[in-house]
């Protein structure tokens, strides 16, 4: 039986390794500018020595739609996404289960010491799964 890329890949393999962090004390305006200039959809939010969550474009838009004047607010003033984590060697099936059980769309990928080394997105997992489907179909011929 031929193993597919989906079966062989890990959370780290499909994660974004260029990590972008912000602080709960950073202004929403600064974070919005950084998201746009770096062409990314999220940042990991630090608080002290730990992580407070993930801020996404959707978090900012939700805050605005709820009437919050975000121009003078800090990241810690809005609702953030929970930072769920998964080990870097976790299979893509395990990543898929994490997304299904938590409802999250992004997860931190951690090494053996618990340090975040990548961020994996549900959208990237779904794209990888589609590619794998084509790969499996090709090998069945």
Residue 133 has pLDDT above 70, yes or no: no
CB-based burial label for 71 (10 Å; 0-12, 13-18, 19+): exposed
* Rounded Cα distance, 90 and 14, in Å: 11
CATH number at residue 125: 3.10.580.10
* Rounded Cα distance, 34 and 45, in Å: 13
Q: Tokens for 117? A: 């080394």
Radius of gyration of the chain (CA): 17
Overall pTM > 0.85: no
Report the 10 Å Cβ neighbour count for 85: 16
What is the Cα 70 distance to its own chain's centre? 23
In this prediction, what percent of the chain has a pLDDT beyond 70? 87
**Contact in structure between 85 and 12 (CB atoms under 8 Å):** no
Q: What pLDDT is attached to residue 128?
A: 77
| Nearest to 22, CA basis, from 64, 95, 86, 75 | 75
Q: What pLDDT is attached to residue 7?
A: 72
Give the mean model confidence (pLDDT) for residues 27-56.
94
Domain count, the chain: 1
Q: What pLDDT is attached to residue 70?
A: 85
Q: Which range of residues forms the domain containing residue 109?
A: 5-140
């Amino acid at each position: 039986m031929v193993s597919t890329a989906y079966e062989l890949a890990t959370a780290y393999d499909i994660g974004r390794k260029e990590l972008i962090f912000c602080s709960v004390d950073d202004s929403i305006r600064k974070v919005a500018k950084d998201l746009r200039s770096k062409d990314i959809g999220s940042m990991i939010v630090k608080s002290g020595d730990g992580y407070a969550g993930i801020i996404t474009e959707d978090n900012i838009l939700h805050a605005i739609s709820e009437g919050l004047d975000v121009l003078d607010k800090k990241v810690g003033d809005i609702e953030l996404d929970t930072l769920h984590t998964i080990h870097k060697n976790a299979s893509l099936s395990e990543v898929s289960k994490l997304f299904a059980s938590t409802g999250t769309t992004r997860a931190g990928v951690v090494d053996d010491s618990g340090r975040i080394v990548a961020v994996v997105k549900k959208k990237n997992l779904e794209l990888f799964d589609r590619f794998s489907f084509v790969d499996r179909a090709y090998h069945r011929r």
